[in-house]
Homo-oligomer: A and B are copies of this chain.
Amino acid sequence: MSDLINTSKPVLPPQLARFVTATAGRNMTRPAYLVVLIGVGTMILLTVNPAYEAAHHWVDAILWTCLAFFAFEWLVRIRHAALAGRTMGYLTSMRGVMDAAAVVAIPGAILLGAPPKTAWLLSVLWLVKVIPAVPGLRQLRRVLVLESGPLLSVLTIFLIVLFLGSVTVYFFERDAQPGTFGSIPAALWWAVATLTTTGYGDVVPITPLGRLVAALVMISGLGVFGLWTGILATGFAAETRRDNFLKTWESVSKVPFFATLGPAAIADVTHMLRTIDLPPRVMIMRKGQQGDCMYFIASGEVEVDLPAGKKVRLSEGAFFGEMALLGNSLRSANISTTRLSKLLVLDLVDFRLLMARHPDLAQTIDAEAKRRELENK
């Protein structure tokens, strides 16, 4: 994909070419995050009168530059889609519409006669572009989709309580407070602030019966809250387990240490491990620290600073930190990554279970631990 672009634009300097490729391929590049931040920040400044007066030339310049950036981003993506022969696919996709809106909305509003200060408010749409790049969003969405049934039920109950509450309180309060409870829409405003336990206090029942109904609405608010949370907590527990399994599964089968296990045992082991991704030069363990887990290297490399100043490198498939689990709980060396690495973490708790269920693995670890100790003495 990136070759295609490099080939067709040989005149671009390499850094720009790389940026174009990144823009075409991913939702948000680092510069794009920066531009969104600056753009939205400047737009906020625009609404603060004294600040804007003092620096309105700068503010305008920054905003137009941000808009230009998004226009450029959009064009790169249209061109990229065109090369892949799916221009319409991109333009009508969620992402394409969002990209278009970010560029077209503001000039469009200005052309339609909106005052610039109002039109620039639409730059809040730039923020929406960040949403698909939120890392855990897929997981959140899965929970919301899988639990949509009970969540909708709770929402319906919420709405019914809202309407019943506001009609009843309207009935009791309309004569006492015709100004604030003069119509059901006004009572609904009160009810939503009460049922969500926000409680602004701008509209408050004053008759005894109105207050009684209000108290019931507040307590229902607690109940709705509790149901909502209970459903989401349940969904999250299941999803977290699943997500961890999926992330770990692939790595486990690549570690030779586990290769001797049958598929049932691998599934079992996968539930015990946790994957972590580390950038280069990160200290994984520090000498003298308390340790309660061991590590397997799924990919990448680590460097062990042995006491005598020796340095040993361990690569894919090796394990370390096992001494902490075999009785000696203080780490005996500093260990850090040398490059981007994916490690599998085995907790003390699960180590015990693993050793109990698969005694052969225990022997392998034990033998290796003894070999290392001898070597280091």
Contact = CB atoms under 8 A, between A and B. Distances in A.
Interface in A171-203: 171, 182-185, 188-189, 192-194, 196-202
A1 interface: no
A219 interface: yes
B227 A224 contact: no
A216 to B, nearest CB: 9
A69 interface: no
Contacts of A183: 44, 47-49
Contacts of A215: 189, 192
A235 B228 contact: no
Contact of A234 (B208, B219, B233): B233
Contact of A134 (B49, B139, B157, B163): B157
A131 interface: yes
A374 B202 CA distance: 71
A236 interface: yes
A293 to B, nearest CB: 10
Contacts of A228: 222-223, 225-226
A229 interface: yes
B224 A225 contact: no
A351 to B, nearest CB: 10
Q: Indicate how many identical chains form the complex.
A: 4
A164 interface: yes
Interface in A133-184: 134-137, 139-140, 143, 146, 149-150, 152-154, 156-158, 160, 163-164, 167, 170-171, 182-184
Interface stretch (A98-106, A261-269, A315-323, A363-371): A261-269
Interface residues of A, number: 99
Interface string A110-140: 0000000010010010011011001111011
A136 B153 CA distance: 5
A15 to B, nearest CB: 29
A88 interface: no
A305 interface: no
Contact of A164 (B127, B184, B193): B127
Given A49-B182, A124-B167, A356-B266, A150 B140 contact: yes
B160 A139 contact: no
Contacts of A140: 150, 153-154, 157, 227
B242 A164 contact: no
Interface in A351-375: 352-353, 355-357, 359
Contact of A193 (B170, B196, B218): B218
A49 B185 CA distance: 11
A265 B352 CA distance: 10
8 contacts: A43-B184, A47-B170, A48-B183, A124-B163, A140-B154, A199-B201, A263-B355, A270-B352
Given A131-B160, A266-B356, 7 more contacts: A44-B185, A134-B157, A140-B154, A198-B199, A225-B228, A233-B234, A263-B352
Interface of A: 40, 43-44, 47-49, 118, 121, 124, 127-128, 130-131, 134-137, 139-140, 143, 146, 149-150, 152-154, 156-158, 160, 163-164, 167, 170-171, 182-185, 188-189, 192-194, 196-202, 204, 208, 211, 214-215, 218-219, 221-237, 240-242, 245-246, 249, 262-267, 270, 274, 292, 347-349, 352-353, 355-357, 359
Lowest 10 CB-CB distances: which A-B pairs, in order?
A136-B153, A264-B356, A198-B199, A230-B233, A230-B232, A200-B201, A201-B201, A196-B218, A226-B229, A263-B356
